[in-house]
Amino acid sequence: MDNKIHWHEWGKKTFEKSQKEGKPVLLNITAVWCHWCHQMRDDCYLDSEIAETINKDFIPIKVDTDKRPDINQRYNQGGWPTTVFLTPEGRIIGGGTYFPPNDFKILLFRIAEFYKKNKTTIEREKTNFPLIKEGLSKEEKLDTKIIDNILDALVVNFDFDCGGFGFQPKFPFPEGIEFFLLKNYKTNDSKLLKMVSINLAGMKGIEDKTEGGFFRYSVTRDWSVPHYEKMLELNAGIIKNYLHAFLLTKDKKWKDTALKTLEYVKNNLTRPGGGFYGSQDADEEYYQKKERAGLKKPYIDKTVYTDSSAKMASAYLDAYLILNDMYYLETALKTIEFLLENLIDKFMYHYFDTEKHIKGLLKDQVCMISCLLDAFEITQGKRFLENAENLSKLLIETLWDKNNWGFFDKSEYKEDIGELKTMLKPVEENSLAAENFLRLYHLTDNEKYLECAEKTLSIFAKSYENYGYFAANYAISLEKLFLPVNMVVVGGKDILSRNLFTTSIMIFPSLRTVKFLDFLKDKEKIKKAGYPNKPAAYVCAGNLCSRPIYKPEEIEKEIKNIIKPKVVI
């Protein structure tokens, strides 16, 4: 441990100490899984001379990026570790990522001297908080061309030789692959499926061939030199990619990869009482050895994070559907129960390590709502829908920008410090929020959800270009707004009703939302909609709706007919 340094926690008292003692803050943003964070700790923070300088001339704060994503989002300098120097008001003086010890000694001296000489000037240049850094005017118009433009950006940046997007380092991008799969289903564009295949095959270069699971990224373009940390959230997205590719292509090799990754999560990141652990540390020696016997397994962060646990629970629900294994359903539902029991107090809290911490982050809410909707669609358990609606209503009450629309990334910023007073509207979380509202609209017929989704998506109608291919999630949400595939199954407890529902729920998960109307419980809704009193499925894509479908084997054929696929040669 780097306990030679008198680390402080992020908080008002620490910044008041900085003001009182006339010293700048040294903020170290680190992660338990991060190789270069450990390297900087060993090289710099355990160095007696460096520790003495920091304790004398700075107020040091250490923050875990997983536990405080709001701090990381505003202060990260381009990677981990981040070392950033701040004024007592929390404004940035300068910073960077990893520094070798000699360079760090020089930097510490220069920052300390600069602050002493310029303290009065810096004090006069205080920034007026809060600021809004993301989200445009509510006047922007939405158009299906946005979807095409994002698809073009993904294709242009795709590496046809090795798979993935961009060059090096090469990071998996599950959202881009999911968008390719969705567009392939709708258009029959074989080029998209080919890119998925190239990507999934190439990405296996960062798969742990022995224990399963995928590493965070590759240092090289060809995926051949992994960076060895394993992240729960990333593996959740990758599991969905391989499962969905198997569902659409029936190619067994994608199923086998998904199974191996699921087995890794089961053996290493699954908490016995519900929930999933956050990550497993990078350890080159351990992973590069062909025979690992005798070597201690890399450290596992046994913190349960709401956002990543909810995402893995959603991946498990897909695994249950596609692999027909009750273990995945039981584990997903156990995780949801754990999160609802231990990490909610109106809003979801961010993480649990014997108690809950950090309330009201947007990402936690939208990931949990998405997971609850997945669970509701599969099980029809009303409690899941009720919790999803309660969280959604709280989102609108608390994080909604009433003037310019969209959702801020955190609930409490006015009384916070420095850049944490800056209000952000992240496109990824807002896109998922909009997708959740579109699903809720179909499931409940409440038009307020549709209105909220449209307004949320509209604020990025021009700024989406700034994100390039990273706007894939935004494109997926627009697909659900402009070209939704909504399904209704009307029935009871008979075998035909069950088969119609099971077949409907097995349709590509990123494509459809499925509502079940029960002859007894939903009698008035069935009557109002004019559905006949016999088991049937109905498919609507936009304004086009199918005839009643009485045979499960005809459901997918009807979907393909309604969405009018085009063959690209």
Regarding the domain with residue range 484-569, which homologous superfamily does it belong to in the CATH classification? Glutaredoxin (3.40.30.10)
The answer to whether the peptide bond before residue 172 is cis (omega within 30 degrees of 0) is no
> What pLDDT score was predicted for residue 543?
77
Percent of the chain with pLDDT over 90: 88
pLDDT-based confidence at 565, cuts 50/70/90? Answer: low
Mean pLDDT is lowest, of 121-125, 508-512, 550-554, for 121-125
| Residue-wise pLDDT tens digits, 366-384 | 999 999 999 999 999 999 9
Percent of the chain with pLDDT over 70: 95
pLDDT-based confidence at 245, cuts 50/70/90? Answer: very high
| Residue-wise pLDDT tens digits, 183-214 | 999 999 999 999 999 999 999 999 999 999 99
The pTM for the full model equals 0.95
| Residue-wise pLDDT tens digits, 299-336 | 999 999 999 999 999 999 999 999 999 999 999 999 99
| Residue-wise pLDDT tens digits, 150-174 | 999 999 999 999 999 999 999 999 9
Q: Where are the domains of the chain?
A: 12-124, 145-162+247-288+298-481, 484-569
Cβ contacts of 499-505, under 8 Å, gap ≥ 24: 499/552, 500/535, 500/536, 500/537, 500/549, 500/552, 500/555, 501/537, 502/552, 503/537, 503/552, 503/553, 503/555, 503/556, 504/537, 504/555, 505/321, 505/377, 505/378
Rg (CA), the chain: 25
> What pLDDT score was predicted for residue 139?
55
pLDDT for 105 beyond 50: yes
Q: Please, which residues bridge with residue 361 across strands? A: 410
Which tokens hold the place of 347? 């809003």
> What pLDDT score was predicted for residue 411?
84
- Measured between alpha carbons, how far is residue 415 from residues 82, 215, 407 in Å? 24, 38, 19
Q: What is the mean pLDDT of residues 43-47?
A: 97
CATH 1.20.140.10 fits 12-124, yes or no: no
Contacts of 63 (CB under 8 A, 6+ apart): 10, 27, 28, 29, 30, 71, 72
> What pLDDT score was predicted for residue 136?
47
> What pLDDT score was predicted for residue 114?
94
Q: Taking CA 235 as the corner, what is the angle to CA 230 and CA 236, rounded to the nearest 5 degrees?
A: 145
> What pLDDT score was predicted for residue 569?
45
Q: Closest Cα partner for 351 from 301, 314, 399?
A: 301
Mean pLDDT is lowest, of 237-251, 350-364, 555-569, for 555-569
pLDDT for 566 beyond 60: no
| Residue-wise pLDDT tens digits, 495-526 | 999 999 999 999 999 999 999 999 999 999 99
Cβ contacts of 445-448, under 8 Å, gap ≥ 24: none
Mean pLDDT is lowest, of 116-130, 442-456, 487-501, for 116-130
**Class of residue 92 by CB neighbours under 10 A (exposed 0-12, middle 13-18, buried 19+):** middle
CATH 3.90.1150.10 fits 145-162+247-288+298-481, yes or no: no
Same fold, 12-124 and 484-569: yes
| Residue-wise pLDDT tens digits, 406-436 | 999 998 666 688 999 989 999 999 999 999 9
> What pLDDT score was predicted for residue 140?
73
The residue type at 241 = N
When the pLDDT of each residue in the chain is averaged and rounded to a whole number, the result is 93
pLDDT-based confidence at 128, cuts 50/70/90? Answer: very low
Q: How many CB atoms lie within 10 A of CB 282?
A: 24
> What pLDDT score was predicted for residue 129?
47
Q: Tell me the C-alpha distance between 175 and 182, whole Å.
A: 10
Mean pLDDT is lowest, of 111-115, 127-131, 139-143, 520-524, for 127-131
